[in-house]
Structure 1
Amino acid sequence: MKIMSTPYQDAGRSGQKRRTFEALVAAAREAVAAGEAPTVDSTAAAAGVARSTAYRYFPSQRELLAAAHPETARQSLLPADAPGDPAARLDAVVLEFTQLIVNTEAQQRTMLRLSLERNQTGSALPLRQGRAIAWIQEALNPLRGRFSAQEIRALALAVRSAIGIEALVWLTDIGGLSRVEAMASMRWSAQALLQQALDSGPPPAAQVPARPKITS
């Protein structure tokens, strides 16, 4: 899993700062995996770090939750010998991505729940998008020339909507599928979306709004 740095940590980059940061993130991730919404105070206590020190790394709960969101350091989900066929490339990426979602399901579910709730100030906690869109776009690279970059992104967004934690929750909790069946269904949906784009054109392309910034 990738651990993202913070401005305070970057300022010194000492070994001690790195260890403190990683201890805080690990404690927060344990709480998230247990279905909790860790605060900076509770995370500091669990990690054995002074509250004042913890707030130097994470001035707010929003920043702490963003760092605790499960991510992977991989830049690509394609195999080293990636095929040239877009359908095969997309299936390889979707298989890896859905496995990642299942492997971190507890954390993913908690972050999804928190993203739908509102804190006391009325602003929603963000559900991080991670690298999923970039991974899917890379799988669809062979379509460049046939589709514009904007159209490929629109298709990637459509695929992402069918294969994330949101889809897994619906397929298992509402649809009653097993994890294996849900993964197979998501792979089928991704291929169906690709085939529809090839047969009838990609989804309507639109300007994608910038991600909300995480502020203290």
Structure 2
Amino acid sequence: MSVSRQQPATNEDTGERAERGPRARTKRLMLETATRLMQAGATPSVSEVAEAAEVSRATAYRYFPSQAALVQAVVDEGLGPILTWKSTAADAERRVAELFDTAMPRIEAFEATFKAALKLSLDQWARRQAGTLGGEPAFTRGHRVELLKEALAPLKGRLPPRDFKRLAQALSLIFGVEVLIVLKDIWGLDSPRTMSVAQWAASALVRAAIAESATDTPGMTLATT
């Protein structure tokens, strides 16, 4: 009897996999095609990705109902392990350094993809200002906010809330594809020097915030642990 109960479950599982399989492969094909186009510098529409992937537009829009949804999915693919980053370190400066060590090489590897996403964000802003965006879903960016808050977690109870938020905001200026635009494209730095400057700036900001808070709070030590 145990065999008879197990057999239908196995058949059902196989059937579900058969139904999910083609859908999963089609979605993966679209993501890979969109990534390839974005890594080449394009910011493709859903229709353009469908054409390049040889998928019908109707099918493509079932998976990605808007360009924003498509680009967000590609960005999340590019970010990969960054999205689940965690640290066991108790020192905020070290945690920030670990985050930069994990994230920045990955961001550089998908630099063209993230620049294409930034281009979409700026294009939508311009059309919104001009009143021509209409009902198009907005592409939102914000992963760095939670990542930086996680990195700074040891300081959450030590810095005043306003100072904690300001530090996270300041770090966000040097964390992401924008720092590559400034240091590589404008200053002409190579990758190692770019990473070195970003890490130095991040450490300087954390130390400055701690020192400033210690000055404002008598008796507080400068140590971050």
1:162 has 2:174 as partner: yes
Pair 1:128 & 2:141 matched: yes
Residues 23-172 of structure 1 aligned to structure 2 (within 5 Å) = 23-69=29-75, 70-78=78-86, 82-118=88-124, 121-122=132-133, 126=139, 128-130=141-143, 132-148=144-160, 151-172=163-184
Unaligned runs of 5+ in 2: 1-18, 215-225
Instruction: Please give the alpha-carbon distance, in whole angstroms, between the structure 1 residues aligned to 2:71 and 2:84.
Output: 24
CA distance in structure 1 between the aligned counterparts of 2:157 and 2:141, rounded to whole angstroms? 30
CA contact (8 A) 1:35 1:106 kept: yes
Answer yes or no: is the 8 Å Cα contact 1:44–1:51 preserved in 2: yes
The SS at the match of 1:49 is coil
- Quote how far apart the aligned CAs of 1:15 are: 2.2
Larger radius of gyration: 2
Q: What is residue 197 of structure 1 aligned with on the other side? A: 209
**What is the Cα deviation at residue 147 of structure 1?**
2.2
Q: Distance in 2 between matches of 1:28 and 1:49?
A: 12
Q: How many aligned positions are there?
A: 187
- Asked whether the equivalents of residues 77 and 92 of structure 1 are also in contact (C-alpha less than 8 Å), the reply is no
RMSD: 2.5
Identity of aligned residues (%): 32
Q: Does 1:180 align with 2:192?
A: yes
1:35 Cα deviation (Å)? 0.7
Q: Tell me, which stretches of 5 or more residues in structure 1 are unaligned?
A: 1-12, 203-216
TM-score by length of 1: 0.76
Structure ranking higher in helix proportion: 2
Q: CA deviation at 1:159?
A: 0.6
